[in-house]
Copies of this chain bind each other. A is one copy, B any other.
Amino acid sequence: MNLPAGFRAAGVAAGLKKSGKPDVGLLVSDVPAAAVGVFTTNRVQAAPVVYTKRNLRKGSARAIVVNAGNANACTGRQGATDAKTMARETAKALAIPPGQVLVASTGVIGVPLDMAPLTAGIKEASGRLNVNGLDALAAAIMTTDTVAKVATAELSTGSIAGVAKGAGMIAPEMATMLCFIATDAPVERSVIARGLARASGASFGLISVDGCRSTNDCVLVLANGAAGGDPIGDDHPDAAAFESALGEVCRSLARQIVEDGEGATKVVAITVKGATTAREAKEAAMRIGDSVLLRCAVHGADPNWGRVLAALGTTRIPFDPAQVDVWLGGEKLCEHGAPGPGDRDKARAALGEREVEIVADLGRGEEAVTILTNDLSPEYIRINSEYTT
């Protein structure tokens, strides 16, 4: 897939993954690009997150270097040094200043990076950069992902392309996986920052795979203006179109992350309506989505709507259980907090599909939010029992 103008990317196998699959990626702009990021809210932040947050203060960047197979998290001073070395080696290979390089890592926590193969991988990737490198980059950031995740959108001038990795340790509160987005639109940083805050809140902020927030993850946007045209500032008529297209790319990538959740066999859309505020609706929907009991029931196509109420009851929302209605697979199995008129067999059949809908109406107000999650399967446990071994 072609990158926006003025961008090149590559992905190579450097030997950090035992599987021998691609594990080092580069995304490079021909000229300094406006750069904006959002990061995990976990108090424990990996060395590359700390490094990249600091580096982003400059507001522009030429390159993102990323490795999979090792998160460079909980690695102490050595980790900080290694993140810096990743940037320096990338800068050397590309003949750009080290301050123009952003760094990201994903993989196992608490193991020092193996810098020799990583450095060799960076050199190799820098020699393979090309305008068709999006898929190679997407492949190089995969960990337990089973498919590469790419999304693009067209603008009236230019385009947006993004890659993401997810699979596990996915929960809300901003960016909790790796996502890199490039655009050649001449958007100013303030437009990107506002658009990214909204887009990530309405996409990565509304998905949960396992309720675990990672130490590493971030969404980075580079805008190099190579498509030409006037700078798109806050008051420019194209600012809204850019925000909308950025939102589309983020939503697509977020959905791909849920579809490829570790061990997932289903995508579950949980809608909470009848809330007094969107924040309340989101809290309720996330609590339902994080209930391992309910996610087991969905896995087994079991129309156990009581687990929806039990999960709601642990939120701080002062709802009246006797006002709550619940639909599973379109069937109203709970009405006013008691068994409803819906057909359990139809609900069971609907829960057996690849796409599952759960709706809860709190009966308190007019606000609604939909989040995406997936079922909890024995395969999730297998994957996460064996991850470092």
Instruction: Please list the residues of chain A having a beta carbon within 8 angstroms of any beta carbon in chain B.
Output: 41-45, 71, 73-79, 108-112, 168-169, 210-215, 291-293, 296-297, 299-300, 302-307, 309-315, 317-319, 321-322, 333-334, 336-339, 348, 376-378, 380-389
A375 CB to nearest B CB, Å: 9
**Shortest CB–CB separation between residue A263 and chain B, in angstroms?**
9
Do A381 and B376 touch across chains, with their CB atoms under 8 A apart?
A: yes
A115 CB, min distance to chain B CBs, angstroms: 15
Q: Known interface pairs A212-B293, A376-B381. Does A75 touch B338 (Cβ–Cβ under 8 Å)?
A: yes
Q: Enumerate 12 A-B pairs (CB-CB under 8 Å) in ascending A order.
A: A43-B321, A45-B321, A74-B309, A75-B338, A110-B306, A110-B309, A110-B334, A213-B310, A292-B292, A302-B386, A302-B387, A377-B381
Chain B neighbourhood of A380, CB < 8 A: 292, 296
Smallest Cβ-Cβ distance to A319: which chain B residue: B43
Interface of chain A: mostly helix, strand, loop or mixed? loop
- In the complex the two chains form, is B42's CB within 8 Å of A304's CB? no
Instruction: Tell me the minimal C-beta distance from A340 to chain B in angstroms.
Output: 9
- Rounded to whole Å, the gap between the CB of A156 and the closest CB of chain B is 41
Q: Given the known A-B contacts A215-B306, A387-B304, are A74 and B296 also in contact in the complex, defined by CB atoms under 8 Å? A: no
| Contacting pair B112 A76 (CB below 8 A) | no
Residues of B within 8 A of A337 (CB): 44, 74, 76
Cα of A259 to Cα of B345 in the assembled complex, Å? 35
Contact of A313 among B42, B296, B381 (CB under 8 A): B42
